């Protein structure tokens, strides 16, 4: 009986010694970190569901408010009749008769100078707890046409200047209010349809029998939730876009010249030469019309990062956070010569998982920055008090709270400065690895062997 009890005691001591072995502890801690990926994935799925709902709301508001706007204006379409004469055999009269064939083609003339000024007014639209960035834009388009060089036309032809049409390529469903358009200092009345295949918009009949060398000036407003694009139709193109928003995205084939961008404002200008357009001043076929659509100067307002995008990125750092916290706890063990129970490790990991969920839920009402601060404070206090209760050491509890506050502060910096996130993250890992190497430098010493 005594031998059996003694044998059991030896086994328990051996088991305890094995469980307290530093190598075994590290392996079990690593396994715990992997298992904690399960609650982290559940938190991520909740965040993803909120992102999905946000995207649905964004699409709904965008469909109501308006999407992207493409402005191709102005274009003048003129029919040209080509007259050819020939002979045809008259079987009744049994003679060849002289006949005249008339073929009509549409030619599109582009302006000599094109000046566009646009101001984009950002606005947040709210639906439930979701906020979506939209905008209203005021645009002014001015310039002039010059007499085109028609020397390339051969044979007998007639230009029907009195049947000309001026067209404005635009998504007219997004236009708000009246459109003020003057051509040769005369107001024009426009009707739906651009009368050009492949281009949506509005148009008006004009009489150019007195000449095409006219000026134009038009102003209108439209709403949207995506990019605004301008076609450089002129031989000389000067575009200017301003907005009380500090995060523009420049897309399209042309980039602005030295844009001014601050935290809450941007101003961008384009000076696009004729040679960069890749289509001629007189358009004669559909492929050249299509080329216009691929040569645009575009700008969009970028919402730096909606709260759900930030929450999604935050959850991606979950495993790193748990790992760094466990490393901190392990180093405390080494310093204090006290071992935390593995269940205590797991509880701390679950508390960290709740941090990500708490941040996401609070940010829907308080904004991401304040929600992050509150969630960080809650979790830091919880883990610090738990560390004190487990180790009975005030210094360890205070040190852990300071280290976690530093860690949460660095993570917020990584989220705010996305361009430097990799550099900051790498720097954290290098410091952590250095601390581990320093603390474990004597593992093969005689003391540790014992």
- 3-state helix/strand/coil string of the chain: CHHHHHHHHHHHHHHHHHHHCHHHHHHHHHHHHHHCHHHHHHHHHHHHHHHHHHHHHHHHHHHHHCCCEEEEEEEEEEEEEEEEEEEEEECCCCEEEEEEEEEEEEEEECCCEEEEEEEEEEEEEEECCEEEEEEEEEEEEEEECCCCCCCCCCCEEEECHHHEEEEEECCHHHEEEEEEEEECCEECCCEECCCECCECEEEEEECCCCCCCCEEEEEEEEEECCCEEECCCCCEEEEEEEECCCCEEEEECCCCCCCEEECCEEEEEEEEEHHHCCCCCEECCHHHHHHHHHCCEEEEECCCCCHHHHHHHHHHCHHHHHHHHHHHHHHHHHHHCCCCCHHHHHHHHHHHHHHHHHHHHHHHHHCHHHHHHHHHHHHHHHHHHHHHHHHCCHHHHHHHHHHHHHHHHHHHHHHHCHHHHHHHHHHHHHHHHHHHHHHCCCCCCHHHHC
Which residue in 321, 323, 374, 383 sits closest to 348, CA to CA? Answer: 383
Please state, in angstroms and rounded to a whole number, the distance separating the CA atoms of residues 325 and 338.
17
Which residue in 417, 185, 268, 139 sits closest to 409, CA to CA? Answer: 417
- What is the reported pLDDT for 257? 93
- What is the reported pLDDT for 436? 65
Radius of gyration of the chain from Cα atoms? 36
- What is the reported pLDDT for 11? 45
Please state, in angstroms and rounded to a whole number, the distance separating the CA atoms of residues 376 and 409.
9
Which residue in 137, 140, 117 sits closest to 217, CA to CA? Answer: 140
Which tokens in the block code for residue 270?
A: 């384009």
pLDDT, tens digit, for every residue of 194-227?
Answer: 999 889 999 999 999 999 999 999 999 999 988 9
Does domain 67-304 match CATH 3.10.620?
A: no
- What is the reported pLDDT for 450? 42
Please state, in angstroms and rounded to a whole number, the distance separating the CA atoms of residues 44 and 38.
10
- What is the reported pLDDT for 9? 54
Per DSSP bridges, beta strands 228-230 and 248-252 are: unpaired
> According to CATH, where is 2.60.40 located in the chain?
67-304
Which residue in 353, 363, 334 sits closest to 43, CA to CA? Answer: 353
Which tokens in the block code for residue 144?
A: 């002039």
- What is the reported pLDDT for 403? 81
What residues of the chain score a pLDDT lower than 50?
A: 8, 10-15, 17-18, 446-450
Which residue in 39, 137, 2 sits closest to 355, CA to CA? Answer: 39
Which residue in 317, 345, 283 sits closest to 424, CA to CA? Answer: 317
């Amino acid at each position: 009986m005594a031998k059996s009890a003694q044998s059991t005691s030896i086994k328990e001591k051996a088991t305890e010694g094995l469980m307290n072995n530093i190598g075994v502890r590290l392996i079990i801690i690593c396994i715990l970190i992997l298992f904690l990926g399960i609650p982290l994935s559940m938190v991520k799925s909740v965040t993803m569901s909120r992102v999905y709902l946000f995207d649905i709301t964004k699409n709904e508001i965008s469909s109501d408010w308006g999407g992207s706007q493409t402005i191709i204006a102005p274009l003048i379409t003129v029919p040209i009749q080509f007259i050819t004469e020939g002979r045809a055999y008259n079987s009744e009269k049994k003679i060849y008769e002289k006949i005249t064939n008339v073929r009509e083609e549409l030619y599109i003339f582009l302006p000599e100078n094109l000046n566009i000024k646009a101001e984009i007014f950002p606005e947040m639209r709210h639906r439930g707890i979701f906020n979506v960035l939209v905008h209203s834009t005021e645009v002014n388009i001015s310039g002039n046409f010059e007499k085109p060089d028609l020397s390339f036309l051969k044979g007998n032809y007639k230009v029907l200047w009195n049947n000309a049409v001026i067209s404005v390529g635009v998504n007219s469903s997004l236009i708000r209010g009246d459109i003020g358009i003057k051509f040769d200092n005369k107001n024009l009345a426009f009707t739906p349809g651009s009368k050009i295949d492949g281009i949506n918009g509005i148009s008006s009949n004009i009489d150019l029998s007195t000449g095409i060398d006219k000026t134009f000036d038009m102003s209108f407003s439209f709403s949207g939730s995506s990019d605004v694009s301008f076609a450089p139709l002129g031989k000389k193109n000067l575009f200017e876009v301003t907005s009380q928003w500090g995060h523009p995205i420049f897309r399209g084939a042309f980039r602005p010249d030295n844009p001014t961008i601050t935290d809450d404002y941007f101003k961008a200008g384009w000076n696009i030469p004729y040679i960069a357009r890749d289509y001629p001043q007189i358009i004669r076929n559909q492929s050249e019309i299509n080329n216009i659509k691929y040569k645009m100067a575009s700008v969009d307002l970028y919402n730096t990062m909606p709260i759900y995008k930030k929450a999604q990125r935050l959850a991606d750092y979950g495993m790193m956070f748990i790992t760094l916290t466990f490393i901190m706890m392990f180093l405390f063990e080494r310093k204090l010569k006290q071992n935390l129970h593995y269940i205590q490790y797991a509880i701390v990991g679950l508390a960290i998982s709740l941090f990500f969920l708490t941040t996401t839920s609070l940010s829907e009402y308080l904004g991401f920055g304040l929600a992050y601060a509150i969630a960080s404070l809650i979790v830091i206090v919880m883990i610090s008090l738990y560390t004190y209760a487990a180790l009975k050491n005030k210094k360890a509890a205070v040190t852990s709270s300071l280290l976690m506050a530093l860690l949460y502060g660095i993570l917020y910096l990584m989220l705010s400065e996305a361009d430097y996130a990799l550099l900051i993250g790498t720097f954290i890992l290098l410091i952590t690895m250095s601390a581990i190497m320093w603390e474990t430098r004597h593992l093969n010493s005689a003391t540790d062997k014992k």
